[in-house]
Amino acid sequence: MMYPFADYVDILGTQYKIELKTRDEDPGLRHGDMTHGYCSYAEKRIVINDRSKQSNFSEDEEYSYLRHAMKTLRHEIVHAFLAESGLAGNAKMCGSWATNEEMVDWIALQGPKITKAWLDAGALFSLDIYSERGNE
């Protein structure tokens, strides 16, 4: 399967490598809740489980796996933003919002819709997504 993923993503000025690996190739993907993917803040990389190598999928299944992999990548990018911005590292309490999986997943799921609403409402220039001005 062809994934539309970039090789690197800029997270607040830090380059994170995006890697597609199978569970056999990356032991990190065999840990409990990191089976779909994970973000290594120390190594500055995001690993997504490439399930397309594990079996032959129909076109419909491929599309569904691709959408899931994209959602997982968004989820891991949210983790990276929280880490690079200092919020995850400064989370003192267990269960802090900055390390809460439900909150991270909520942003990953709703992010595209929020971005569309911001664009539709005129609260964001589409060019701001690709420029430093978007951070103002």
Helix, coil or strand: residue 20: strand
**Residue 120 structure tokens:** 């539709």
Query: Cβ 80 to Zn ion, closest distance in Å?
Result: 11
> Which CB atom, from 57 or from 111, has the smaller least distance to Zn ion?
111
**Under rule CB under 5 A, which residues in 23-42 are in contact with Zn ion?**
none
The footprint of Zn ion on residues 73-112 (CB under 5 A) is 101, 104
CB of 75 to Zn ion, least distance (A): 6
Query: Which residues make up the interface to Zn ion (CB under 5 A)?
Result: 101, 104
